[in-house]
Amino acid sequence: MKPLLITIDGPSGAGKSTVSRRLSERIGYTYVDTGALYRAVALAALTEGCAADDDTRLAEICRHLILKFQNTSKGPRLYANGHDITARIRTPEISMLASAVSARPVVRTYLLDVQRKMGKGGGVVFEGRDMGTVVFPEADIKFYLDADPETRALRRYKELAEKHAATSLAEVREAMKKRDEDDSSRALAPLKPAPDAIRIDSTDLEIEQVVEVLLRHIEKRTK
Which residues within the stretch 62-101 sit at the binding site for ligand DC (CB under 6 A)? 95, 98-99
Q: What's the angle, vertex CA 158, arms to CA 156 and CA 161, rounded to 5?
A: 110
Q: Pick the binder of ligand DC from 20, 34, 86, 133 (CB under 6 A).
A: 34
Query: Measured from the CB of residue 63, what is the shortest distance to ligand DC in angstroms?
Result: 20
Ramachandran assignment for 126, one of left (phi > 0), alpha (psi -120 to 50 degrees), beta (any other) = beta
Give residues with Cβ within 8 angstroms of 128, minimum separation 6. Answer: 7, 8, 9, 33, 34, 35, 135
Question: Shortest Cβ contact with ligand DC: which residue?
Answer: 35
Q: Which helix (H) or strand (E) holds 146?
A: strand 141-146
Residue 89 CB-density burial (10 A; 0-12 exposed, 13-18 middle, 19+ buried): buried
Using CB under 6 A as the binding rule, whether residue 35 contacts ligand DC is answered as yes
In terms of DSSP bridges, do strands 83-84 and 75-80 run parallel, antiparallel, or are they unpaired? antiparallel
**Residue with smaller CB distance to ligand DC, 185 or 222:** 185
Q: How far is the CB of 162 from ligand DC (least distance, A)?
A: 16
Radius of gyration of the chain, Cα coordinates, nearest whole angstrom: 17
By beta-carbon proximity to ligand DC, the closer residue of 15 and 35 is 35
Binding mask 133-172 toward ligand DC (x if CB under 6 A, else -) reads ----------------------------------------
# chain residues binding ligand DC, by CB under 6 A: 15
Q: Which of 7, 12, 24, 133 binds ligand DC (CB under 6 A)?
A: 12
**Given 118, 128, 146, 156, the residue binding ligand DC (CB under 6 A):** 128
* 179 closest CA partner among 166, 190, 188, 163: 190
- The answer to the question of residue 104 lying near ligand DC (CB under 6 A) is no
Closest CA to 190 of 119, 132, 110, 146: 132
- Shortest distance, position 39 Cβ to ligand DC, whole Å: 6
Question: What does the binding site for ligand DC look like in residue numbers (CB under 6 A)?
Answer: 12, 34-35, 38-39, 95, 98-99, 102, 128-131, 179, 183
